[in-house]
Copies of this chain bind each other. A is one copy, B any other.
Amino acid sequence: MNRRDVARTLAGAAFVPAILASAAGVAQPVNRDPSRPKIAMLVYPDMILLDLVGPQTVFSLAMADIHLVWKTRAPVTTDVGLAVAATTTFADCPRDLDVLFVPGGLKGSVALMGDEEVLTFLDDRARNAKYVTSVCTGALVLAAAGLLKGYRATSHWYVRDLLGLLGATVVPDRLVVDRSRVTGGGVTAGLDFALTLAALLRDEDFARRIQLILEYDPKPPFDAGAPERNGSIAEDIRHRRAPLLEAAREAALRAGRRLPL
């Protein structure tokens, strides 16, 4: 189904075509309805595309006004090789957001933890945002910007302890809602995250309807998704990723020294 059909399905109302992000970087006609929730989703080099597309699908069904934001509108590469172009530059991003969202991607997140332009933008838009949110290693970027200081938060299991170096209270859960901060665990937590946020932004009935359209009644083939029940696989992944995880720790320590904790 395309978004227009879905919007009709959900709202039973005429639908104005909204965000047509073009990965080719070509502008599409955009009509923005001020009554729709306004969501800015960061896109950046080396992000995990599924971190973006899971929540984006839910927000799209929730008829949100979605901005994919980055420094420029040049396409950025993602883990699966598909390029994604921002629809909106930092300069053009609305100041009164309902949701500010950062997806993950370990290598890309580590790079952003020391990127002043990105951290300054996030800090600025977070001031007026109703919800400041992330999935996966995106929480490291929020934390490096000082935005999780004093909040309970989570992240991908193999980096979530680093949030503690940046003033957050680490919670080893798949989804953590603490006042305006909503953070999810690794990659696939984006679905649980987005449905929860859809209920907060609209209402629970609306979120339930989206969940049924997406047939989100998961039946994982293995009980392999949680590190606490898969210790030896987790240890092996940590070992193989040690250099990048160490780089993440160093980036957190550096970012922590710059924050007024």
A261 to chain B, nearest CB (A): 28
Contacting pair B50 A57 (CB below 8 A): yes
Which of A20-28, A112-120, A126-134, A162-170 lies at the interface with chain B?
A: A20-28
In order of increasing CB-CB distance, the 5 nearest A-B pairs are A186-B215, A217-B225, A23-B23, A208-B224, A218-B218
Most B Cβ at <10 Å: residue of A19, A82, A105, A213: A82
Which residue of chain B has its CB nearest to the CB of A24? B24
| With known contacts A57-B187, A107-B2, A214-B187, A208–B230 Cβ distance under 8 A | yes
Question: B-facing mask of A1-39, CB < 8 A → 1, else 0?
Answer: 111011011101000001111111100100000000000
Contacting pair B196 A212 (CB below 8 A): no
CB-contact partner of A225 in B18, B212, B230, under 8 A: B212
Which residue of chain B has its CB nearest to the CB of A155? B215
Of the A-B pairs whose beta carbons lie under 8 Å apart in the complex, a sample of 12, sorted by A's number, is A1-B46, A3-B80, A18-B81, A48-B57, A50-B214, A57-B79, A82-B84, A187-B214, A207-B221, A208-B230, A213-B237, A216-B220
Which residues from chain B contact A244 at a C-beta distance below 8 Å?
1, 5
A49-B57, A186-B215 given; 8 more Cβ-contact pairs under 8 Å: A1-B48, A56-B80, A174-B217, A174-B219, A192-B219, A192-B221, A199-B221, A208-B224
Contacting pair B188 A218 (CB below 8 A): yes
How many residues on A have C-beta within 8 angstroms of the other chain's C-beta atoms? 85
A95 within 8 A of B: no
Most B Cβ at <10 Å: residue of A216, A233, A236: A216
Most B Cβ at <10 Å: residue of A6, A80, A175: A80
A171 within 8 A of B: no
As for how many copies of this chain the complex holds, the number is 2
A182 to chain B, nearest CB (A): 12
Most B Cβ at <10 Å: residue of A174, A211, A234: A211
A138 within 8 A of B: no
Which residues from chain B contact A85 at a C-beta distance below 8 Å?
23-24
Which residue of chain B has its CB nearest to the CB of A46? B2
A185 within 8 A of B: yes
A106 within 8 A of B: yes
A42 within 8 A of B: no
CB-contact partner of A233 in B19, B25, B84, B208, under 8 A: B208
Question: B-facing mask of A84-114, CB < 8 A → 1, else 0?
Answer: 1100000000000000000001111000000
Restricting to A177-196, which residues have a CB under 8 Å from any CB of B? 185-189, 191-192, 195-196
